[in-house]
Structure 1
Amino acid sequence: MQREEKQLEMTLDAVLNRLNDLKNSIGSMIHKIETEYETINWPTFLDNFALISSHLTGLSKILSKELGPPLRNRTVLPLMLSPERDEALWNLTEGRVPVFSHDIVPNYLRTKPDPAAEQKMIQNEQKAANLSLETAMKQVAQYNKVVTHVLEMVSKSREEWEIESSSRAGIQQTSSNADTHLLVQAVGMGKGLKTAMQLSGPGSAAGGMMVPPAIRQPTPMSSVSPSGVNQLGKAPSAIKTNIKSANQIHPFGR
């Protein structure tokens, strides 16, 4: 009797440790989803999911061993039910179960599915049992056909992607790095450009091209022809004269 109780205690400790690991993994995953939803990537999500799956597998192995079957022969009964808040129960369940009342006990201690879910499962089982062998085989064949078609589409897309990625390195290049460097040096530093224009006068150049303002020869402001038009073909500006006249009639000019 003592050996059986010791085995039961060891099994309960192992199950409790595995449940705590599972709870911590689920809590960590929920925390990452809530706080790192903008930066979390798919591999990280899969790693967390694989950790949860490993804890579930370990829990199943513990329950499937020889030490697990005695748990199925045990019955859990509530010793005391109360609608009042139980602080010890609140601390023991980490704030999940505040009271142990008549309404909560059936949900926590039941060993069968929810009545609505159980009724739905029974209906599906009866519907599957009433199918004839020929109808079932047709449905299975149709399902396999759909799955095979989807698999062929995925395989074809994968082959096309692999062919495209493998042949991408052999695509003929349509640009030259040397020409690109020469163009950048010519635009940025003027390297390789030839002076194909000769200045024939202010604001003009050979070949009908305008000379950039940075290399134009400065022209005196007083170079005005007798007809009142300067060499650039524009009327002389009267801004200077107007400013001078305004200074002369200013009341505070003295």
Structure 2
Amino acid sequence: MQREEKHFEMTLDAVLQRLNDLKMAVFSMIQKLEMEYETINWPTFLDNFAIISSHLTGLTKILAKEQCPPLRNRTVLPLLVSMERDDALINITEGRVPVFSHDIVPDYLRTRPDPITEQKMQQNEQKAANLTNDAAMKQVTQYNKVVSHVLDMVTKAREEWEIESSSRTGIQQTSSMTDTQLLVAAVGMGKGLKMTNYGPMMVPPSIRAPSPMGGAGAGGMSPGNVQQLGKAPSAVKTNIKSANQVHPFSR
């Protein structure tokens, strides 16, 4: 009996040590995410995540050992339940549990999983126990085929990418720096632009006004004709009457 109790205490000490290491790793990762979110890089984040994963793996190995006593067969009972604030409890739990009341006792002193979770675990264990060896081997074979197919696809894509990268001499140039500089200089400072003098607007000879030196020749027109030509013919006929005329509908 004493040997079992001693072994149980050693197991609890190892579990507590792993839990403290896990807590410190999680705290360090949260602190880096909050304080160093501008400078943290992906490899550093993966390193911290790997540390947390290693602590979880170590904790699982301790609990899965045959020498570890089954904790689910033991019951933890509270010595005192109170609704008052406990400073010692706050110090031990780092401010997470201020009161050891009836509401939190079932959650913090639980040595077995939640009833719904435990029921699902039992169903999965029963399903795995009822599975025959032939069916299990078929599922494993099918799973290996799927994994091998995905691995072949990834390997082929990687080889094609490496071949394409090695055969590529360089990135094809799609622009010219000289042309860009000339365009910027032309738009910004007008460099390289030429001024072009355009002559007077071309007017057809039929409506061109006569020059002072020329007479009323065959191709010329009189000023009156030019003035009449400039007016557009009116399609509306007007009838202006005297204001003294009596309106037919006047009263």
- Superposition TM-score tier, normalisation by shorter sequence: 0.5 to 0.7
- Distance in 2, matches of 1:172 and 1:93, equals 60
Equivalenced residue count is 189
- Of the three residues 199, 203, 217, the one matched with 2:197 is 203
Gaps of 5+ in 1: 205-225, 228-254
1:104 Cα deviation (Å)? 2.4
Say which one has the larger Rg. 2
| Secondary structure of the corresponding residue to residue 161 of structure 2 | helix
1:35–1:153 CA distance, 2 compared to 1 (3 A): farther
1:37–1:153 CA distance, 2 compared to 1 (3 A): farther
RMSD: 4.6
Equivalent position amino acid for 1:29 in 2: M
| Secondary structure of the corresponding residue to residue 97 of structure 2 | coil
Gaps of 5+ in 2: 187-191, 199-210, 213-251
- Distance in 1, matches of 2:108 and 2:98, equals 13
- Distance in 2, matches of 1:92 and 1:33, equals 26
Contact 2:86–2:98, Cα closer than 8 Å, also in 1: yes
Aligned to 1:165: 165
- Distance in 2, matches of 1:127 and 1:62, equals 26
- Distance in 1, matches of 2:118 and 2:63, equals 24
- Distance in 1, matches of 2:81 and 2:163, equals 69
1:121 Cα deviation (Å)? 1.0
1:60 Cα deviation (Å)? 6.7
Aligned to 2:154: 154
Aligned to 2:107: 107
Equivalent position amino acid for 2:197 in 1: G
Equivalent position amino acid for 2:52 in 1: I
1:213-232 correspondence to structure 2 within 5 Å: none
1:158–1:84 CA distance, 2 compared to 1 (3 A): same
Percent identity between the two aligned chains: 66
Contact 2:84–2:99, Cα closer than 8 Å, also in 1: yes
1:52-99 per-residue CA deviation (whole Å, 9 max, x = no partner) reads 23444566788899xx96997998553222233222212221121122
Aligned to 2:116: 116
1:1-254 correspondence to structure 2 within 5 Å: 12=13, 19-33=19-33, 40-56=40-56, 77-168=77-168, 170=169, 180=176, 183=179, 203=197
Q: Give the TM-score, by structure 2 length.
A: 0.54
1:17–1:125 CA distance, 2 compared to 1 (3 A): closer
- Distance in 2, matches of 1:158 and 1:41, equals 25
